[in-house]
Amino acid sequence: MPRSTARPDGARRFRLLGAPFDGASTLGWPGSRYAPERIRSAMGWILQRREDERIYSVDLGTTLPYPEDLLVDGGDLATVAHDLDATIDAVSAGVRETLDSGRTPVVLGGDDSLLYPVARGLSEHAEDVGGTVAVIHCDAHLDLMDRNVQQGTHSQSSGMRRAAELANVSTAASVQVGPRHFNFPSSLRFREEAGLRCVPAAEVHRRGVDAVCDDVLDHVGGADRVLLAFDIDCIDPAHAPGAGALEPGGFTSHQALELVRRLAPRVDAMVLTEVNPMTDRNDQTAILGAYLVSTVVVHANAAAAGEGH
Ligand SMILES: [Mn+2]
C-alpha cells in the first residue's frame, strides 16, 4: 500500500504538533510539558541551514531536498492539563486530521502516555483507508502495564499496552527497540502471548544498528502503516540527561540518529516523548530531539524523492 501521506510526485510532507502534557507522569520527573517549546527552538538552528530548497547532509556527503513546505508547524494540540481523556481525544483527532490532510504527523510530547492517542489516530485513519498499523516502539521500558493503583490504565507506563488493543494495530508486526534492565514478569507474558517482538538495547550494542534496522524493517514489512514512537529514554542518560527516567546502558546519540535515519522511509507518524527541559542540561536533550525529528523528516522525504538512500 502506498504511503497515505505521499504526494502524487512521491514526496512527503510533515506537520509538527506540540502536545505539552505531562499529567500522566505518575512515575519519574514531570516537566515534559515544556519540551515542545524547547525542541521547536532547537529546530530553528537546523532549519536556518536550508538554501535553495536543499540542505547539506554532511554524513551522506551530498545535498538533500528541503522544500519550503516540507515541515509546517501546526502549533500545539488542545491538551487539557487536568483531563487525560480530553487530552487523548485531542491528540488522536489532531493526528487523524493531519493524516487526512495528506501530511505525516510529528507529535512532540509530553509524557509517554501520548504513545496511545497517536497510535489511535493512526489506527482510526487506517480503519478509514483500510490496512494495518505496526508500532516501532523505541524505549528503555516496555510500557506494557495493564493497570495499577497509582497509575491507572493510561499512564506513561501503559502506552504500548493500550496501543496493542487498538483494532488496526498488529502486535505481531510491531517491535520494541531498546528496552533494558528489569521489568515485570507479567509484561513478558503479555509480550509472548501477543507475539510482540523485543530487541533489547543489549542486542543493538552486540549486533549494531544496521543489522537491527534490517530486521526491524523486515519485521514491520507486512504492515501498511508504521508509527515510530520514540521515548527519549531509549538513549543513554549520558547523551540524553533531560528525560523522565534515567536508565543506563542505552543508545548513544549517534546510534539513535542512525536508527531513525534508517527507519525514516517507513514512518507514517512519529511521536517523540519524555524530553524534559526541567532536568535537561543546556538544552542538550531538546537539541537531540530536534535532530531526531529533523532526521526523520529530511530522510523520509529524500527517500521518497529517490535521493540519499
Ligand atoms: Mn520510557
Closest CA to 264 of 231, 220, 234: 220
DSSP string, 153-218: SSSTTSHHHHHHTSTTB-STT-EEES--S---HHHHHHHHHHT-EEE-HHHHHHH-HHHHHHHHHH
Alpha carbon of 70 to ligand 1 centroid (Å): 29
289 or 2, greater pLDDT = 289
CATH number listed for the domain at residues 14-304: 3.40.800.10
Alpha carbon of 160 to ligand 1 centroid (Å): 11
Alpha carbon of 245 to ligand 1 centroid (Å): 7
User: Region 154-181: what's the mean pLDDT?
Assistant: 95
Alpha carbon of 234 to ligand 1 centroid (Å): 7
Do 40 and 73 form a contact (C-beta atoms < 8 A)? yes
Give me 59's grid cell. 554524513
Residue 44, pLDDT above cutoff 80: yes
Alpha carbon of 277 to ligand 1 centroid (Å): 16
Q: What is the pLDDT of residue 156?
A: 84
Alpha carbon of 62 to ligand 1 centroid (Å): 35
Q: What is the pLDDT of residue 243?
A: 97
- The pLDDT tens digits for 57-111 are 999 999 999 999 999 999 999 999 999 999 999 999 999 999 999 999 999 999 9
**pLDDT bracket for residue 4 (50, 70, 90):** low
Alpha carbon of 246 to ligand 1 centroid (Å): 9
Q: What is the pLDDT of residue 7?
A: 62
Q: What percent of the chain has pLDDT over 70?
A: 96
Residue 261, pLDDT above cutoff 70: yes
Alpha carbon of 288 to ligand 1 centroid (Å): 16
Alpha carbon of 247 to ligand 1 centroid (Å): 9
69 or 3, greater pLDDT = 69
Alpha carbon of 233 to ligand 1 centroid (Å): 5
Alpha carbon of 55 to ligand 1 centroid (Å): 32
**pLDDT bracket for residue 35 (50, 70, 90):** very high
Alpha carbon of 244 to ligand 1 centroid (Å): 8
**pLDDT bracket for residue 2 (50, 70, 90):** low
User: Region 30-34: what's the mean pLDDT?
Assistant: 96
Do 273 and 110 form a contact (C-beta atoms < 8 A)? yes
Q: Which of 6-15, 27-36, 86-95, 157-166 has the lowest mean pLDDT?
A: 6-15
Global pTM exceeds 0.85: yes
Alpha carbon of 11 to ligand 1 centroid (Å): 32
